[in-house]
Amino acid sequence: MTGTPEPVGDEAAPVSAPVSAPVSGGAFAAAMAGFAPFEPAPLLAVAVSGGADSLALCVLADAWARQRGGAVIALTVDHRLRPESAGEAAAVAGWLGARGIAHETLVWADPPAAGPIQAAARAARYALLEAACARRGALHLLVGHTLDDQAETVLMRLAKGSGADGLAGMPAVRELGAVRLLRPLLGVPKARLLATCRAAGQPWLEDPTNAVGRYARGRLRRVAPALAAEGLTPARLADTARRLGQARAALDAATADLLARAAEVRPEGWLVLHGAALAAAPGEVRLRALARCLRTIGGEDYPPRRERLERLAAEIAAGGPADGRTLGGCCVLPRGEASAAAGIPLLVCREPAAAGERRTAAPGATVWWDRRFRVSVPADAPPAGLVVARLGADTARLPDLAALPAAVRPSLPALWNDAGLVGLPREIGGQKRMTGDGLLSIIVEFSPAEALAGAPYGVA
């Protein structure tokens, strides 16, 4: 939250608030059933900001978990963007502690001094939450997004010209590496969660900036009554998102089927793409598959612009590109001779110039580098000035990787310090390659931010 929240109880509820029934334990159990199976005695992590939505979710999830012999850990992210934030996190911890619910405050230690602070805060929030889940062994992270949030998301994306994928809104379930992000309240109006908190005697924090025009969501809330009068109610907008989500899930499944036939991923972080199989697919599925290949190998958050994808797909369908292309942080190059059955095979690898990240490392640590590789640093590495960065032009030091395409080698990770190169990738994807040149051996595992054929879009 970004404003100065105040505790809210029944007496502070606005007179015009809709009268709605609290969410019952049975209704919440029915929502959770859509995410089954769960392990015996499930441990649920719940993101709790202090607002009514997340506190209602935490109370409901706690009862659900206890009935199954499990438990809840509540996680509050303190972005340290306002002087009141630490006190608010302490208030949440006190409320939940009185209910016997474990709580941890996660602090964003290094917010940026400038730039799009909301986007940076969101990325930091999910990184902190995911790390806390991994540390505590929680496989499920619950967040309190509601039907109203979904409706606002659809409107915001419509205003930005999003296509069908964007207008599908937020998925009910999303894979975040080792944890599942679950949104069990995505079909529940916010008014019912306010009622749930009141029924449970649970105070909450109210953010006054939600009602002002500084941010897009606040502005949309001010015009929501006029939109509803024209039929654009939150329920109707959320239902539109649900229907488009079903279409997106079907397209995801078709794309995964195409990629299983058309793409071969290699453990060194590149892939072979069979152009004929790609070209034979329906246009939308073809573009999705191509975008997925580029995001998996390039590590980008978003796919390239559609018009650029269409140009590249047209070149592939025509038997090219004969001279190679760069797109989405990747190089797309011809690989070998075309065959009548498979068409021209293409090599998709990381564009070396785009793999410019330098990650500070420590002896014995594992570093996620370039959103593509998990790099295990040997315990006997010299600690001073140690970083993971791309190998670059020094590929002559890798005779054991001579069979790799030349375009792939420069973007592999290596270990450096102030004196120069100190470690090379000797074990990649479980395959060991050793040479006696006196350099350290680092272990590398291809672990892209976007799997080539990940889980389909999770529909509420």
Give the relative orientation of helices 234-262 and 147-159 as an angle to the nearest 10 degrees: 70
Q: Are residues 183 and 287 in the same domain?
A: no
Backbone torsion region of residue 45, taken as left when φ is above 0, otherwise alpha when ψ lies between -120 and 50, otherwise beta: beta
Give the domain CATH number at 148: 3.40.50.620
CA torsion angle for 324, 370, 352, 309 (degrees, to 10)?
20
d(CA 222, CA 59): 29
What pLDDT does 233 receive?
87
pTM: 0.77
Exposed, middle or buried: residue 339 (CB in 10 Å: 0-12, 13-18, 19+)?
exposed
Give the position of tokens 């330098």.
358
Asked if 361 and 348 sit in the same domain, the reply is: no
Residues sharing a CB contact under 8 Å with residue 237, sequence separation 6 or more, in sequence order:
150, 151, 154, 155
Let me know whether 225 and 374 are in one domain. Answer: no
Distances (CA, A) of 205 to 11, 95, 106, 208: 14, 11, 18, 10
Per-residue pLDDT tens for 72-125?
A: 999 999 988 888 989 999 999 999 999 999 999 999 987 776 667 777 888 889
Residues 22 and 134 in one domain: yes
Q: What is the pLDDT of residues 315-337, one digit of tens each?
A: 998 888 888 999 999 999 998 65
Q: Give the pLDDT confidence score for residue 7 in this predicted structure.
A: 47
Rounded to whole angstroms, what are the CA distances from 370 to 86, 357, 447? 33, 6, 10
- Tally the residues of the chain: 460
Q: Is residue 255 part of a domain?
A: no
Residue 224 lies inside a defined structural domain of this protein:
yes
DSSP class of residue 355?
-
Has residue 329 been placed in a domain?
yes
- Which H/E stretch holds residue 127? helix 117-136
**pLDDT tens for each residue of 135-190:** 999 999 999 999 999 999 999 888 888 888 888 999 999 888 779 999 999 999 99
One domain for residues 346 and 377 = no
Say what the pLDDT of residue 446 is.
Answer: 93
Structural domain includes residue 459: no
Q: Do both 314 and 222 map to the same domain?
A: no
* Same domain for 172 and 125: yes
Q: Is the pLDDT of residue 55 over 80?
A: yes
Domain extent at residue 332: 266-353
In this structure, are 52 and 96 located in the same domain? yes
Same domain flag for 56 and 44: yes
The CA distance from 251 to 289, in Å, is: 10
How many distinct structural domains can be found in the chain? 3
Predicted local confidence at residue 218, as pLDDT:
64
CA 380, 382, 387: angle at the middle one, nearest 5? Answer: 110
CA 271-170-313 angle, to 5 degrees, is: 35
54 lies in the same domain as 119: yes
Per-residue pLDDT band at 2 (split at 50, 70, 90): very low
In terms of domains, do 284 and 198 share one?
no
How many percent of the chain have pLDDT more than 70?
A: 87
Q: How many CB atoms lie within 10 A of CB 21?
A: 11
Are residues 293 and 343 both part of a single domain? yes
